[in-house]
A and B are shown apart, each in its own frame.
Chain A
Amino acid sequence: MSNIAVADAAAPSTAKPFLTRLGAGFVNRLVIIVPYLWLLFFFLIPFVIVFKISLSQTAIAMPPYTPVLDFSDGVSGFFAGFRDLNFDNYVWLTQDALYFKAYVTSVIIAAISTVLTLIVGYPIAYGMSRAPATIRPTLLMLVILPFWTSFLIRVYAWIGILKPEGLLNQLLLSLHIINQPLVILNTYTAIFIGIVYSYLPFMVLPLYSSLEKMDYSLIEAAKDLGCPPTAAFWKITFPLSLPGVIAGCLLVFIPAVGEFVIPDLLGGSQTLMIGKTLWNEFFANRDWPVSSAVAVILLLLLTVPIMLFQQAQARAQEQGK
């Protein structure tokens, strides 16, 4: 608040009416306070509630859990409530191999998909950054446009392509490349395709913005000095695009770990991912405390990547200034 305090202190020297001064200070604070309170109430407090409910027990009631850490008994009751806390849901998660497997599989799938997205996205971003400046805005819009169309629709479109009697198999069969339809839908391959496809714009945009800023005379200098193109790429282009690589990878990896729509629609019942497990625990089994515990562990798992992402954002903001 220091800058506001300074502004207030400096105010008397200017001959503004008192009410205007009060108004300006009040508006200044309101600019901060309104979004701050909104996010506190609708983003941070819900996590506290999730954590609280993950420590409670399932009950056949509505809502289906026993209250814990309730203030209805006053402060002493609140502290007495600590004795009733139980970590049964977490013990349950460690005992059932299914959950552990779901976490590990999700992280592995997200990691592989992130690398695949990088491999697919890098040449596109590079090509865009070297395109004539006149068509660059159009190319940029073409990358962003699919992002504006529904995620659900884009995933749905792949079902028609990948299913056994789908368009991809029809094409491959008619070209006599394969004799039998490939089984892709309802496998992990379909999930990889779905994630790469859906998250590609998130990878291409940060890559493009760091590649576009690059000074290409560096490459020409390297070439003049006899450096082969591949070596020049790994020694100059790639390191300089690293901020974009990191931002893009985090933008893909973090949401992909908890992805629900893609594994549900393309992965079928055979594949295991934690977002789907949480969804089923909540909607099919109606076990709110266990799904809360699943969410808490997923959140802990993602804390480090999310903090890295925030640092990258803050750095980008500093550089923009």
Chain B
Amino acid sequence: MNATWSRFNVTSIVLGFAFLYLPIVLLIVFSFNESKLVTVWGGFSTKWYVSLFHNQGLMDATWVTARVGVISATVATVLGTLAALTLTRYTRFRGRVLFSGMVFAPLVMPEVITGLSLLLLFVAVGLDRGFFTVTLAHITLTMCFVAVVVQSRLVSFDRSLEEAAMDLGATPAKTFFQITLPVILPAIVSGWMLAFTLSLDDLVIASFTSGPGATTLPMKIYSQVRLGVTPEINAACTILIAVVAVGVIIASIANKRREVQRQLDEQAAQRG
């Protein structure tokens, strides 16, 4: 490797990550600021976190968001996994092109279009806007992301394992639950987490499809941000970031452990 190139590589990685992380770090730092002015440092304080927990509106919104997130991510994971199975296993059926189009298009569709169209659907069928409609909207959006994540695992899946199980007399259902599911489980878990964070994060689609009494956390944050940057919002954002970061780190450590365990098992089996 050429020395100048590797210095260039290191510099670009360092600068790139600084660009990605500096704004988030600054946001977290200033959530511990004593001063009400967000950009002037007035000493360390956790008072904004205390006032956050006394903000009933924000707490209600957090509860709504958590419920919408868990329900929609769970349903979306089931539907998304089915969609991924359809995409990889059934290569020929009527309307397959339309189906794959409907799975991939929502990934890039501007949120304003998805939000508006879902709202008009709910109005057309006479569904009252609220908790239920936001959940339906989030299922629709996030199942496509789950489908892509699970599909990428299914594509590299060795199908001879399934065939072996079937040859040994396992029913298709048993084969699926004992062979296929354990292998694609990491992808399903990360699909669920992706769906959950997307739901947690969504402002635009929720604003269109939500109704009175179902204000989500991003909607609440957005309406307060429009009035100005406050340390309290910084504190709320810091907690959100911490929750997600802890989740992702635990998941990746668990993944690594499983990987190491699997390698050890394989080595043991070879020696065996």
Residues of A within 8 A of B (CB): 1-4, 20, 24, 27, 31-32, 34-36, 38-47, 49-50, 53, 63, 120-121, 123-124, 126-128, 130-131, 139, 141-146, 148-154, 156-161, 163, 165-167, 170, 197, 200-201, 204, 229, 250-251, 254-255, 257-261, 265, 275, 278-279, 282-283, 288, 291-292, 295, 298-299, 302, 305-306, 309-310, 313-314, 317, 320-321
Nearest A residue (CB) for B116: A295
Which are the 4 A-B pairs with shortest beta-carbon distances? A258-B110, A46-B117, A123-B12, A124-B16
7 residue pairs of the A-B complex, CB under 8 angstroms, read A35-B99, A38-B139, A49-B117, A150-B241, A152-B221, A309-B108, A313-B100
Cα A259 to Cα B89 with chains together (Å): 35
Q: Are A127 and B10 closer than 8 Å at their CB atoms?
A: yes
Whether, in the assembled complex, B203 has its beta carbon less than 8 Å from a beta carbon of chain A, the answer is yes
0/1 interface trace, chain B 108-144, chain A, CB 8 Å (1 if under) = 1111110011101101100000000000110110010
Of B48-56, B90-98, B181-189, B262-270, the one touching chain A: B90-98
Residue in B8, B102, B121, B245 whose CB lies within 8 Å of A39: B102
- Dominant SS among interface residues on chain B: helix
* Nearest CB of A to B163, in Å: 14
Q: Which residues of A contact B94 (CB under 8 A)?
A: 1
| Residue in B closest to A129 when the chains form the complex, CB atoms | B9
A152 touches B201 (CB 8 A): yes
Within 8 Å CB of B109, what residues of A? 254-255, 258, 302, 306
Flag if B13 contacts A50 (CB, 8 Å).
no
Residues in chain B within 8 A of chain A (CB atoms): 1-2, 5-6, 8-13, 16-17, 19-21, 23-24, 26-27, 30, 38-39, 79-80, 82-83, 85-87, 89-95, 98-113, 116-118, 120-121, 123-124, 136-137, 139-140, 143, 147, 151-152, 155-156, 171-173, 193-194, 197, 200-201, 203-204, 207-208, 218, 221-222, 225-226, 229, 233, 237, 240-241, 244-245, 248, 252
- Chain A interface, >50% SS class: helix
The CA-CA distance from A63 to B172 in the complex, in Å, is 49
A124 touches B13 (CB 8 A): yes
Whether A302 contacts B110 in the complex (CB less than 8 A), given A43-B140, A139-B13, A148-B197, comes out as yes
Q: Are B155 and A35 in contact (CB under 8 A)?
A: no
Please name the residue on chain A nearest to B105 by beta carbon: A306
Minimal beta-carbon separation of A50 from chain B (angstroms): 5
Q: Indicate which residue in B95, B106, B226 contacts A43 across the interface (CB closer than 8 Å).
A: B106
> A146 contacts which chain B residues (CB < 8 A)?
20-21, 24
A154 surroundings in chain B (CB, below 8 A): 23-24
Say yes or no: B244 contacts A295, CB within 8 Å.
no
A31 near B82: Cβ-Cβ < 8 Å: yes
A141 to B252: give the CA distance in the assembly, Å: 9
CB–CB B200/A150 < 8 A? yes
Q: Select B86's contact among A32, A148, A159, A299, beta carbons within 8 Å.
A: A32
Q: A126 contacts B106, CB within 8 Å?
A: no
CB distance from B155 to the nearest CB of A (A): 4
Chain B, residue nearest A276 (CB): B112
Chain B residue numbers with a CB within 8 Å of A306 are 105, 108-109
- The answer, among A20, A152, A157, A298, for a CB contact under 8 Å with B218, is A152
Residues of A within 8 A of B83 (CB): 35, 39
B120 surroundings in chain A (CB, below 8 A):
46, 49-50, 53, 288, 292
Q: Is the CB of A149 within 8 A of B104?
A: no
- What residues of chain B lie closer than 8 Å to A32, measured between beta carbons? 82, 86, 90, 93, 99
B5 near A142 with CB under 8 A, answer no
Is there an interface contact between A197 and B90, defined as CB atoms closer than 8 Å? no
CB of B17 within 8 A of CB of A197, answer no
Q: A31-B86, A261-B204 are in contact. Are A153 and B241 (CB under 8 A)?
A: yes
